[in-house]
A and B are shown apart, each in its own frame.
Chain A
């Protein structure tokens, strides 16, 4: 309210994610929806295969049969049961996106913190690489290497993860530069604390929030990239059950039997939207703490 020397307003830029902030995150309706969606997807991935009524690779009825008592979601282009394939088709996209996001965030966060704290050469390299990462969209980069090395799921995970790393590094670098310029970091430097000690004890606790947000966002984009690759036929190969692949296979029959497309489509959407809601929620909870935290 009153004229306070302006140092105070900048003071809590990065607020500690205290218990109250976690509570605020959980109190957000959007967080609850996100957790709900995520639970649905993960339950299907975990228990779906046990619940599937039919085989996923067997010709059971004419292709594109509409829903019936036996085939609740109808059949697909090969006359296979859509419901069974849907219940079985989530595992690949979930493990692949989680792994590539983890890889990208882990590599990116380490590089970003080092670059943001040490500046200099590494800093320059990361800025360049993140420009390259933006100039080469994940999908383009992945297609380039898949064209050369052939279709392989671990390769796709690796490529998408590495494609994320420079951008994550850039974000983490930005926050780290901000934290590293704070006087508490200088005070640690002034008593001769080593680089690793300062990075782990003084800086890391203050950049975990943004790293969590990045993790959520990177998972979303991994889902998008991985599912899209399957849709254009460069991801999971038939006859395996996979949501993205199902979309591609059953697209031609969309006018007669849309369920073969709709079911996997909705689940992919739920997973991606869930992760985005959760990441957004964390971001909002962090933002709130940026003002008025010191009185």
Chain B
């Protein structure tokens, strides 16, 4: 949910990835090239393995958190009036009398096969009940990404090309401010501006009849989408800008100038081709943080997605639902990173070629 992670994290993020790549690719002399074909796929496989490991660690954290729940889970499920006998029966049914490790492995088996059990509140199968919520959130994040990623890249590039001019300074200043603002601040300021006394042009919350898709009422989506777009811009803008400025000061750009190439060619062919590579990972991280940011945005605008479901489940201590949602959030991050890794390999000649 972190509003917008700043340069510091991202820098280590991209350099860490580049560092891994370098160590796997090894020396680039002709003699060493035979092994790098293996290492290209080996590297992706390594990243895949590390993603799986991350999810495994997340699953342990989720399970451990569940174990911290004070009191008897069976009693919580059945309520205060339950008889001792029925509690014991449910305890055995849920395997709660088994050793912890057995319980964990059972749960993990369920998680891997997307079987998280039934909601303690609605009694519905968690995966079924959550699927429409998941799709809603994915739709929201997808719409936001389509707007914010190209926008951020364009603003970042325009700032870098005219570094330290007025536009660049304005973007920089605005980025620092927006990056620090919590999502709800931006969301509510937009609401006050566009949905209240000042200008009543938009509905303040998403109101959809149960079962209907929020996407059937496009006007209600404007505020949540706009908020998430604004929230997700600064990080990617700053990454893109910093990367392009860095590239523009490199020796091969000076060399291109000394070859007498037109400025347009220098920027497009020589600079962007290299500087946009780190933006792939930055984009993936942006989307990942956006997913986290949907929690508060969905709550604020009453958007029926996963984030709102999480808040509701936390309020009712609906364990299986909480476990499912947390796991899905983590999986989203891992998948996005993996996609970014693969894309990076295929646009970086040094990683792609023998």
Contact = CB atoms under 8 A, between A and B. Distances in A.
A167 B2 CA distance: 12
Given A147-B322, A258-B192, A265-B185, A276 B310 contact: no
A225 interface: yes
Interface of B: prevailing SS: helix
A131 B337 CA distance: 10
A262 B188 CA distance: 9
Interface of B: 1-3, 5-9, 11-12, 15-16, 50, 53-55, 57-58, 61-62, 65-66, 68-70, 173, 176-177, 179-185, 188-189, 191-192, 195-197, 204, 285, 288-289, 291-292, 295-296, 299-300, 310-311, 313-315, 317, 322, 325-326, 329-330, 333-334
Contact of B184 (A150, A214, A228): A228
Interface residues of A, number: 59
A224 interface: yes
Given A135-B54, A269-B181, A273-B177, A224 B189 contact: no
A232 interface: yes
Interface in A219-233: 220-221, 223-225, 227-228, 231-233
Contacts of B184: 227-228, 231, 247
Nearest to B62: A144
A230 B184 CA distance: 11
Interface of A: 30, 127-129, 131-132, 134-141, 143-150, 167, 170-171, 174, 210, 213-214, 217, 220-221, 223-225, 227-228, 231-234, 247, 251, 254-255, 258, 261-262, 265, 268-269, 272-273, 275-277, 279-280, 283
B196 A254 contact: yes
Interface of A: prevailing SS: helix
Please indicate which of the listed interface residues A128, A213, A232, A268 has the most CB atoms of chain B within 10 Å of its own CB.
Answer: A232
Given A134-B288, A224-B182, A265-B188, A217 B6 contact: yes
Contact of B182 (A145, A268, A275, A279): A268
Contacts of A247: 184, 188
Contact of B65 (A134, A145, A233): A145
Please indicate which of the listed interface residues A228, A231, A251 has the most CB atoms of chain B within 10 Å of its own CB.
Answer: A228
